[in-house]
């Protein structure tokens, strides 16, 4: 049975995972997915798949760093963050383009997005980008590799639940606009896409300057 200090650390990891889901880049990325969907159940699945992808990336990084003692260099960590910035621009542009293809979105054809592939992939990119800081924190506070990996998994579980809640909260204004002021929905979607692009460009320029 885990000792009280261990339970406290694991509980803290879960809470930090919940908080981690509210990071601006996470919320912006999920908004670009949720803004396209018309059903709350799909918005929930987006949050879940995003969180699972995030946790998978963190777990893989944790296994390499904690289990195999392979360090993540600051250079690699910066480029992973830059990849997040690029992805935010792509996701924002994709949301804007989807508004102009509104008629095609009503067709019931096969889309990977419905099955969580794209949110899962986006979550993995974010998880990989944040893995360096998390694994360094874990290594500095938890001596046992097994406990460290368990901490990362519980942190990931917290981020999954947190992202599910974030997805629902983000989806509600879109659904309200769709039901009450339908004409306002496309401008709101385009605004979300533009914000994602601008935020991604800002983040990318900031990281690029730090690498120069």
Phi first, then psi, for residue 141 (nearest 5°) are -120, -20
Q: What is the CA radius of gyration of the chain?
A: 18
Indicate the domain borders of the chain: 4-211
Residue 109 is predicted with a pLDDT of 47
CB atoms within 10 A of CB 15: 14
Residue keyed to tokens 């804007």: 96
Global confidence as pTM? 0.81
Residue 23, helix vs strand vs coil: coil
**Per-residue pLDDT of the chain in tens (212 residues, 90 and over written 9):** 455 457 777 788 888 889 888 888 889 988 888 877 767 778 888 889 999 999 999 888 888 877 777 777 778 888 889 999 999 999 999 989 888 776 555 544 445 445 578 899 999 998 888 876 777 677 667 767 788 888 888 998 999 999 999 998 888 877 777 766 657 678 888 899 999 999 999 999 999 988 87
Tell me the DSSP string of 55-99.
HHHHHHHHIIIIIS-----HHHHHHHHHHHHHHHHHHHHHHHHHH
Residue 113 is predicted with a pLDDT of 46
CB atoms within 10 A of CB 182: 9
CA–CA–CA angle 89, 84, 127 (5° rounding): 145
Burial of 27 (0-12, 13-18, 19+ CB in 10 A): middle
For residue 89, what are the contacts with CB-CB under 8 A and spacing of at least 6? 196, 197, 200, 201, 204
CA torsion angle for 95, 21, 81, 137 (degrees, to 10)? -170
Sign of CA dihedral 112, 115, 117, 122: positive
Residue 93 is predicted with a pLDDT of 93
Whole-number Å distance between alpha carbons of 129 and 15: 20
């Amino acid at each position: 049975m885990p000792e009280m200090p261990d339970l406290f650390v694991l509980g803290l990891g879960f809470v930090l995972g919940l908080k981690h889901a509210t990071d601006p880049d996470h919320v912006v990325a999920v908004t670009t997915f949720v803004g396209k969907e018309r059903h709350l159940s799909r918005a929930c699945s987006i949050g879940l798949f995003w969180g699972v992808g995030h946790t998978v990336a963190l777990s893989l990084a944790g296994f390499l760093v904690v289990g195999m003692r392979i360090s993540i260099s600051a250079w690699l960590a910066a480029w992973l963050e830059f990849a997040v910035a690029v992805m935010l621009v792509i996701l924002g542009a994709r949301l804007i383009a989807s508004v102009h293809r509104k008629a095609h979105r009503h067709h019931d054809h096969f889309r990977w997005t419905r099955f969580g592939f794209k949110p899962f992939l986006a979550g993995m990119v974010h998880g990989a980008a944040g893995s360096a800081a998390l694994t360094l924190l874990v290594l500095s506070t938890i001596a046992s590799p097994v406990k460290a990996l368990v901490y990362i998994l519980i942190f990931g579980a917290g981020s999954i639940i947190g992202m599910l809640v974030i997805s629902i909260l983000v989806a509600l204004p879109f659904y309200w606009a769709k039901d009450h002021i339908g004409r306002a929905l496309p401008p709101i979607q385009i605004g979300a896409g533009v914000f994602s692009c601008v935020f991604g460009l800002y983040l990318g320029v900031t990281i690029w300057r730090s690498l120069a």
